[in-house]
Structure 1
């Protein structure tokens, strides 16, 4: 598929179905792009679609099936939008660090495909606001889904969720007072099960 060169072409791209619940259009919104009048359109739609389909099928659909509606906060960024965001201090990493991350239509330095979406699990908000235990969601995903990386933020426990061809399985948080790395390969807590970390959250939903 060619990069859209018209409104009609962009409409057709947005109608591409990535999974039963998600279309590509769901992931193209960007406040940076909207406010500054920048196009947030993939240069390589086929690669963006392929990476997005794995993100949706392997991570977002199972997560939504278990906990209900997900809200997409930020997902695909074109190289132009991401570069501008980095230069303006909008919490965007440099492009090279975001290839196969928020920039779905570029492979990383190792030639791997990947995709990131910043999401909110709506059903998790009451538990998080009552307890502050963002780790409950982190460990549930760690135990159940083939994620590559997660990065948690204070507002509503939104988190970057990444699918990647070579998953590192690392979890980082920017939520005080427990900022830093929760787990990564080589840490003692990387292996085994972690039901004790999310059991109370599941109980709050009437799940086990």
Structure 2
């Protein structure tokens, strides 16, 4: 076997996106591994630009506050995402994932973007005891201005978090996890508007649990 494909992939994976993150951190995909597909950007320069914005404006500030974050999944090639969609593996269609998990394609409006599914280990023990994901969502909303949207999932309090080029797009926080405060799984932020339950609650009260956790981290 020629070493040239391996050498090329190794060089690509070493591409630095921000202070702590490299492209390799975002390329692993169970779908790709199990099915023998290469999860590699077609448009490397676009993927790097979008991924760098995600890292610098969203992931680095989160990690600065919470310590090491764990990347569950992130970049998907069109081929990997299409297969994930066909297999029912929680992958939206390619068109819906352009400028989302598919970093190397602009969306229908011509904007670029990037999404990663992450876990915050320092928050996990609290979540497993309480089921409270919303406190973390509201902390990020208050402190990480560069995010575009979040979607939370039950295992590990993992969540998709996105950066999007069009800063005018309204923010959304969706969930597949019951909020123990409200007893339902409705979005807590839709098109920039808080849900009825949280609308009258002072922002600091929404994420007070996070401040307690962070005091122990610091």
TM tier, smaller: over 0.9
Q: Distance in 2 between matches of 1:24 and 1:76?
A: 9
2:190 equivalent in structure 1: 184
User: What are the Cα deviations for residues 41-76 of structure 1, in whole angstroms up to 9, with x where unaligned?
Assistant: 000000000000000000000000000010000000
Deviation at 1:178, TM superposition (A): 2.7
Give ranges in structure 1 of 5+ residues lacking alignment: none
Deviation at 1:205, TM superposition (A): 3.4
Aligned runs of 1:160-199 on 2, under 5 Å? 160-166=160-166, 167-176=169-178, 177-185=183-191, 187-188=193-194, 194-199=203-208
**Conservation of the 8 A alpha-carbon contact between 2:127 and 2:133:** yes
Deviation at 1:180, TM superposition (A): 2.6
Give SS of 1:181's match: coil
Aligned runs of 1:35-46 on 2, under 5 Å? 35-46=34-45
Tell me the TM-score normalized by structure 2.
0.88
2:209 equivalent in structure 1: 200
User: What are the Cα deviations for residues 60-119 of structure 1, in whole angstroms up to 9, with x where unaligned?
Assistant: 000000000100000000000000110111110000000000000000000000000000
**Conservation of the 8 A alpha-carbon contact between 2:123 and 2:213:** no
Distance 1:88 1:184, change over 3 A: same
Q: Which stretch shifts more, 69-78 or 139-148? A: 139-148
For the aligned residue pairs, the C-alpha RMSD in angstroms reads: 1.8
Q: Distance in 1 between matches of 2:43 and 2:133?
A: 35
Q: Distance in 1 between matches of 2:129 and 2:39?
A: 36
Number of positions where the alignment pairs a residue of Structure 1 with one of Structure 2: 204
2:148 equivalent in structure 1: 148
Give ranges in structure 2 of 5+ residues lacking alignment: none
Q: Distance in 1 between matches of 2:91 and 2:24?
A: 21
**Conservation of the 8 A alpha-carbon contact between 1:102 and 1:116:** yes
Tell me the TM-score normalized by structure 1.
0.93
Q: Distance in 2 between matches of 1:186 and 1:53?
A: 25
Deviation at 1:182, TM superposition (A): 1.2
Q: Which stretch shifts more, 79-88 or 198-207? A: 198-207
Q: Which stretch shifts more, 55-64 or 130-139? A: 130-139
